[in-house]
A and B are shown apart, each in its own frame.
Chain A
Amino acid sequence: RKEVEQDPGPFNVPEGATVAFNCTYSNSASQSFFWYRQDCRKEPKLLMSVYSSGNEDGRFTAQLNRASQYISLLIRDSKLSDSATYLCVVNLPGRRALTFGSGTRLQVQP
């Protein structure tokens, strides 16, 4: 079983739509959680950290459910520029390295 699992998509949505991605992680002792964004043939960039209380950054909302070991990302009012791969990322206990999911591809269409 992979340590971080994501639906690969693609999610094809019209501009203005709301879209949600989920990811599950296997190690219940995982400590930190993130969403990274990766554009085609570019490097990953931090989108937002994910906190137990949930957090919001503009159109983006991230939530963590420790009991069920899943993380979600909600994007409201999708823009064409949101088209990218969204990587769910976990920091395992005692490790500095990040553990990445395979990513979920989002394509926002005009």
Chain B
Amino acid sequence: GAGVSQTPSNKVTEKGKYVELRCDPISGHTALYWYRQSLGQGPEFLIYFQGTGAADDSGLPNDRFFAVRPEGSVSTLKIQRTERGDSAVYLCASSPHGGSYEQYFGPGTRLTVT
């Protein structure tokens, strides 16, 4: 079946611009996670949705980062006033429900801020 998909696969933007990254989880998965991975590091948690609500947003680095999941499926991560330090691979993962710890990752969006 279809896995987690993310678009775009690559995004290059200028410092100060606004970007949106999209995640389409596995159908029926109620839990959705966003992580960020910098070169040479493991993924770092950003935010977790259970259904439509953000159950844990403690990993968002600052108020320039925001994410939504209005209908409980597709999610969008939004970054305002991008900075060069935001350059990373943004990974989305989903799991069947919040109690399941196996998370299925999408291929990621590689964001480059110039």
* A residues with CB within 8 A of B: 4, 8, 32, 34, 42-46, 49, 87, 89, 91, 95-103
Contact = CB atoms under 8 A, between A and B. Distances in A.
Interface stretch (B13-21, B61-69, B99-107): B99-107
B105 A97 contact: no
Contact of B45 (A34, A42, A44, A97): A97
B33 A97 contact: yes
Contacts of B33: 96-98
Given A42-B107, A43-B106, A98 B101 contact: yes
Contacts of B103: 46, 98
B55 interface: yes
B56 A96 contact: yes
A4 B41 CA distance: 11
B101 A87 contact: no
Contacts of B50: 96
